[in-house]
């Protein structure tokens, strides 16, 4: 450049480009950005910089916005309220974008082509290049003011959600709610494989407090209506909560480290540095002598999977089931473990919904599943029936039976009924290994004796004693070793052997997994 003669015309154009870029970098202006920061929130440019590899962001559509002109000369630009482009996370390309709340609250913007949100350029980028999509959501969607501007009312969801739906079967989609999300952006957050929100500074709902008050007369704050206590813990609308935006970005990077770039690839294998033959002695004593006492299932999971590789999805929702991504000898696996501390691990409607989503997620991205089973069955009682536990539970069983990814069942203690069946691989190898503490059946002995042996018990001189006697007889026959004799369970193992045993099979399945990549078809009607 230095050697070339000055070109005044080109200089003017370069200067205009520089001005336009500088205007884009200002976002909604110093005052608006200041207010945003005061609320403890980062700007969209800071967010993108926080989540992607340093210096890797290649923006697309930086010049979009509303130019201001005096006598035909550009004086400034109000940028479009959406920033997006191409970047890398752990050196792998991703499409990333998000609303700019500092420009008119990040509300929808109508240019020739949408930049982001459902059906925007950033989604086309993820679709065409088959790379993950990271949505950093901070917008309230449409506004009735658009009626005035257009002169007509827009038909809802004209175009775009079809692309968002398509992406769910193609590439990992991560959505972070980083402010107040309502309407379209809130809906967009749900159409994801994994979603996260930030405590205290983010809320998500179909409609905010003013609409709720007008519709139902309920006076609620944003936080009461759609903070993490509702959206994450009770509703499961959003999967995880982060304490800060910085932690949220770290979680996004971590989540994507378990994901392939798309469904035509397998997840990356990491060198784990954790010996495959590590046999943790504590596994031998983790299950208490008394079958009435719970134990720490998370601790058990950590002892089996690669060191520090456990990434829990929905840790505060549907807590009877623990779902986490992890690695075994460096290969990504999905772990589904029942938590005996929550209703003895009985599967309630929420836990079933959580398991259904997780099985689908792992099946979609060719991630083998490990079930660590301690489930007495579906949750019982009037509340459980009213919550449609049976339907949600059977939906979970149905999705599990449709999945084609390899599954490994390890029965730790109880494995009963339909919930127990939902933890097995009936389509595949159906490999079921068990610890010596395992017990199984259609229903627990103590629950079935009174009904099945009613006449016998009633005829006895001491009915209670007779019931206990029958229970003891049946329990002796229910030893897992007897089922192993009949090859009704493929192996009983020393609990310490769990890791090496599973690693052998997961390693061996890698070749088969390569032959089954691609989109997973979904047939039939879920119950």
> Site residues (CB under 8 A) for another protein?
290, 292-294, 319, 340-344, 346, 376, 379-381, 383, 444, 446
- Cβ nearer to another protein, comparing 301 with 346: 346
> What's the min distance (Å) between Cβ of 448 and another protein?
13
Question: How far, CA to CA in Å, does 232 sit from each of 12, 198, 225, 257, 387?
Answer: 52, 10, 12, 22, 18
State which residue, 330 or 344, has the beta carbon closest to another protein: 344
Beta carbon of residue 371, minimum distance to another protein (angstroms, whole number): 20
Closer CB to another protein, 344 or 495, in the complex: 344
Minimum Å gap between C-beta 151 and another protein is 51
Nearest distance in Å: CB 449, another protein = 13
- Residue whose entry in the numeric block shows the structure tokens 């007889």: 473
Where does 389-506 show beta strands of DSSP type E? 407-416, 431-434, 439-441, 491-492
DSSP state of 111: S
For strand 491-492 and strand 82-89, is the pairing parallel, antiparallel, or unpaired? unpaired
Between 383 and 494, whose beta carbon lies closer to another protein? Answer: 383
Report the largest interatomic distance among the alpha carbons of the chain, rounded to a whole angstrom.
Answer: 113
| Shortest Cβ 293–another protein spacing (Å) | 6
Task: Report, in this order, helix, strand and coil percent for the chain, each rounded to 5.
Answer: 40, 20, 40
Of 58, 53, 109, 112, nearest in space to 84 by CA: 58
Cβ proximity to another protein: between 321 and 346 the closer is 346
Q: Find the shortest distance in angstroms from Cβ 473 to another protein.
A: 19
Question: Least distance to another protein from the beta carbon of 292, Å?
Answer: 5
Closest to another protein by CB, 368 or 376: 376
Smaller CB separation from another protein, 319 or 520: 319
Report how far apart, in Å, the C-alpha atoms of 124 and of each of 82, 95, 179, 229 are.
15, 9, 24, 34
CA distance 479 to 484: 9
Rounded alpha-carbon distances, angstroms, from residue 209 to 105, 212, 218, 221, 223: 16, 5, 8, 6, 10
Per DSSP (E only), the strands in 330-462 are 331-338, 369-375, 407-416, 431-434, 439-441
CB 290 to another protein: min, Å: 8
Say which DSSP state 61 is in: -
What gap in Å lies between CA 173 and CA 191, rounded to an integer?
Answer: 8
CB of 478 to another protein, least distance (A): 16
Residue number with CB closer to another protein (19 or 418): 418
In 3D space, the residue among 163, 220, 226 whose CA is nearest the CA of residue 195 turns out to be: 226
Q: Is the CB of 330 or the CB of 376 nearer to another protein? A: 376
Q: Judged by CB, which is closer to another protein: 380, or 401? A: 380
Query: Cα(393)–Cα(396) distance, rounded to whole angstroms?
Result: 5
Quote the tokens at residue 466. 């007779």
Q: Least distance (Å) from another protein to the CB of residue 345?
A: 8
* Phi, psi of 168, rounded to the nearest 5 degrees: -65, -20
**How large is the angle between the packed helices 245-257 and 44-51, nearest 10 degrees?**
40
């Amino acid at each position: 450049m230095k050697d070339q003669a000055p070109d005044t015309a080109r200089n003017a154009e370069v200067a205009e480009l520089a001005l336009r870029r500088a205007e884009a970098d200002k976002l909604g202006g110093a005052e608006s950005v200041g207010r945003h920061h005061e609320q403890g929130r980062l700007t969209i440019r800071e967010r993108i910089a926080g989540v992607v590899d340093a210096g890797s962001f290649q923006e697309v559509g930086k010049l979009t916005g509303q130019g201001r002109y005096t006598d035909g000369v550009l004086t400034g630009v109000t940028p479009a309220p959406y920033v997006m482009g191409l970047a890398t996370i752990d050196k792998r390309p991703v499409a990333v974008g998000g609303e700019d709340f500092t420009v008119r609250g990040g509300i929808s913007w109508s240019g020739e082509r949408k930049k982001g949100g459902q059906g925007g350029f950033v989604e086309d980028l993820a679709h065409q290049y088959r790379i993950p999509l990271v949505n950093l959501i901070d917008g309230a969607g449409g506004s009735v003011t658009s009626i005035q501007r257009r002169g007509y009312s827009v038909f809802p969801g004209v175009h775009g959600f079809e692309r968002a739906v398509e992406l769910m079967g193609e590439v990992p989609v991560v959505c972070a709610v980083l402010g107040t999300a309502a309407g379209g952006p809130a809906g967009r957050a749900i159409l994801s494989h994994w979603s996260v929100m930030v405590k205290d500074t983010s809320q998500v709902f179909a409609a905010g407090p003013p609409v709720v008050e007008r519709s139902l007369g309920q006076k609620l704050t944003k936080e009461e209506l759609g903070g993490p206590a509702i959206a994450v813990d009770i509703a499961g609308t959003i999967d995880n909560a982060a304490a800060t935006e910085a932690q949220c970005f770290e979680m996004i990077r971590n989540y994507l480290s378990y994901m392939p770039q798309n469904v035509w690839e397998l997840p990356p294998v990491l060198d784990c540095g954790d010996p495959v033959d590590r046999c943790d002695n504590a596994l031998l004593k983790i299950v208490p002598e008394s079958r009435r006492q719970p134990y720490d299932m998370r601790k058990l999971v950590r002892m089996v999977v690669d060191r520090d590789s456990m990434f829990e999805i929905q840790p505060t929702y549907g807590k009877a089931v623990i779902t986490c991504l992890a690695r075994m000898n460096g290969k990504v696996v999905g772990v589904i473990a029942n938590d005996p501390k929550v209703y003895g691990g009985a599967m309630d409607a929420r836990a079933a919904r959580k398991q259904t989503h997780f099985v689908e997620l792992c099946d979609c991205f060719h991630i083998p599943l490990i079930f660590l089973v301690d489930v007495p069955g579906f949750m019982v009682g009037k509340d459980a029936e009213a919550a449609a536990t049976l339907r949600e539970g059977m939906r979970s069983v149905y999705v599990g039976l449709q999945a084609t990814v390899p599954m490994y069942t390890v029965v730790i203690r109880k494995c009963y009924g339909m919930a127990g069946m939902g933890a097995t691989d009936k389509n595949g190898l159906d490999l079921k290994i068990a610890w010596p503490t395992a017990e199984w059946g259609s229903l627990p002995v103590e629950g079935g004796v009174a009904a099945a042996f009613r006449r016998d018990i009633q005829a006895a001189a001491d009915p209670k004693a007779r019931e206990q006697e029958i229970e003891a007889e049946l329990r002796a026959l229910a030893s897992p070793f007897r089922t192993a004799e009949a090859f009704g369970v493929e192996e009983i193992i020393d609990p310490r052997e769990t890791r090496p045993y599973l690693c052998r099979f997961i390693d061996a399945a890698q070749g088969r997994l390569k032959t089954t990549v691609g989109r997973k078809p979904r047939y039939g009607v879920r119950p």
